[in-house]
Amino acid sequence: MTAPMVEQIIASHSDCGHVTEGDLVTAKVDRVYLQDGNSPTICRLFERYGFHGVFDPERVAIFFDHSVIAPDKEIAARLREAQAFARRLGVKVYAAGEGISHVVALEEGWYEPGSLTVGSDSHTCTGGVNQCLALGMGASDCVAAMVTGEVWLRVPGTVWLDVIGTPSSNTHSRDVAFYILGRYGQSPFLYRSIEWMGGWFDELSLDACATVANLGVELGAKCAFLPAGKNRSSMLRPIHPPAEGDPRRLKVDVEGLPPMISRPNSPEDVVPIDECKGTAINYVFIGTCTSGRLDDIAQAASVLSQGKVKAGVQCLVTPGSKKVFLEAIELGYIEALIRAGAIISPPGCSACLGTQGSIPATGDRVLSTMNRNFLGRMGNASAEIYLASPLVAAHAAIKGEIPSARELEQWR
C-alpha cells in the first residue's frame, strides 16, 4: 500500500527514508508564518532565549489580521511591537488590510503541494487544500521552527473520510464537515491526519475545499488533505485509501444532507437547520478564514441582493482578503450587500474572537459563519453564538431568525 500522505511528506522532510505512526522525528520546515496576535509573545521568547535571526527571511512571514482595527491601547501597543519585530528579522510582512493569513497564504502560493508549513494559528491546517502539510502550533514551536528551520513531530495515524452521495443544493461544504463533527465528535480524528475523498469533491470549488481543510482543527485533526479535482492545483496527487472495510476508512453518506447549525457553545453541538428554525437572531457575521472567500461573499450577496437586512439586525460582512474584497467590488457583490444594509469591514479576522469589533452586546443572539462558538468567543460571554454557512446567515439577516430548510428551497 502507498504510504499515507502525511508519512510521505514527513519522510521527505527528514533524514529517515521512511516513517510510521508514532515515530518521533525532526523534520525540515519549508515555511513559517505568524499572525499579529501571537507575534508579540514570540518576540519576547526571542529576547528571553537570545535568538536573533530566522533560518530564511524569505520563508518566514508575519500577517496582521487579528486586530486590523486595534480595539484598545494595549493591543495597539502589541501591534507596534510586532511590526518592529518583523522589521528586525527582515521577514515578509502582510500588513493590516491584506487579509487573513490562511486566505492570503493560499492566494500567494505559500501552501505548495508536498511542502511542510508551520503556522502560529490553529487554522493553518487550511493548507491541506493544496496537500501541503500545514501545522498550527504554539509560540515556542514557531520560535524553534523560525530559528532552526526544523520542527519535532510525532507521526500521526491517518483516517480516510470517504464522502458518498450529494448533499442538498443549499448545503455548503462546511455543513458536511460540521455534520461529521456532530455525528462522530473529535475522537476518531484527534491527533490524526485526515485524507478526504469521494466523488462529491470532484466539482467543488477551491474556496469550498479550503473551507473543508480549514475545519480540520475543529475535527481535532493534526492535518487534513483534500483530493485532486477540477478547480484545484494540477500538482495534487491521488488519495490512496486502504481497502473498503478497513477500520481507518470511514464512509459518510451525505445524500440529501440539509444545512447544519452549531448551537451555543460548542462547534460540536450540530443539528440540522430545522431544529433551530425560527430562532431569533439580531447579529449576523459573514467572513473569517472558514467562510470569507469569494464564493462565500457571492452567496451572501445573491441572497441579500433580493432583500434587506431586517431592522434591528446588525449584518457584518468581512472579505477574507484584499483580493477577495477587490473582486467582490468588481462583481457588484459589495454594492449589493451595502444596499441591503450590511456593514463591510476591512479584510481580516474581524469579529471572530473579540480582538476587534464588533463585540456583541449582552443578550445578543449571533449567527456567524466562523468556525468556533466557544463561550465568550466574540468577546462577550453573555451573547449566544450559532454557526452556519454564508447562505443561511444571509437569510437570517433578512428574516431576523434562522430560516427552515424549506424556506431556503423555496427561495431558490
Partner 1 sequence: MAMIAYQGLRVRRIDQVISTDDIIPGRYKHMFTSASDLVPHLFENLLPGFAATFDHGDVLCCSQTFGIGSSREQAVSTLLAAGVRAVVAPRFGRIFFRNAWNLGLPAIEVDTSSFLESECMDLDLVGGHAHCNLTTIVFPAPPRQMLEMVEQGGLLALLAKRYSRSIPLRG
Query: What are the residues binding partner 1 (CB under 8 A)?
Result: 24, 36-38, 40-41, 43-45, 48-51, 66-67, 71-72, 74-75, 78, 120-122, 136-141, 143-144, 147-148, 152, 186-187, 190-191, 217-218, 220-222, 266, 268, 353-355, 372, 374-377, 379, 381
Q: Give the number of other Cβ atoms within 10 Å of residue 191's Cβ.
A: 12
In the bound state with partner 1, the residue whose beta carbon lies nearer, of 66 and 323, is 66
Least separation, in Å, of the C-beta of 71 and partner 1? 8
- CA dist list (Å): 348 to 171, 286, 372: 25, 12, 16
Q: Is 240 helix (H, G, I), strand (E, B) or coil?
A: coil
Least separation, in Å, of the C-beta of 353 and partner 1? 4
C-beta separation of 371 from 215 below 8 A:
yes
The residue type found at 410 is Q
In the bound state with partner 1, the residue whose beta carbon lies nearer, of 217 and 284, is 217
All three cell numbers of 108 = 500567494
Least separation, in Å, of the C-beta of 21 and partner 1? 14
Query: At which residue does the C-alpha cell 458536511 appear?
Result: 176
| Three-state secondary structure of 73-105 | HHHHHHHHHHHHHHHHHCCEEECCCCECHHHHH
In the bound state with partner 1, the residue whose beta carbon lies nearer, of 189 and 333, is 189
All three cell numbers of 40 = 508579540
Least separation, in Å, of the C-beta of 75 and partner 1? 5
Least separation, in Å, of the C-beta of 44 and partner 1? 5
Least separation, in Å, of the C-beta of 270 and partner 1? 14
The residue type found at 304 is L
In the bound state with partner 1, the residue whose beta carbon lies nearer, of 372 and 399, is 372
In the bound state with partner 1, the residue whose beta carbon lies nearer, of 73 and 412, is 73
Could you check whether the bond before residue 265 is cis, i.e. omega within 30 degrees of 0?
Answer: yes
Q: Which residues partner with 385 through β-bridges?
A: 366
DSSP 233: -
In the bound state with partner 1, the residue whose beta carbon lies nearer, of 346 and 357, is 357
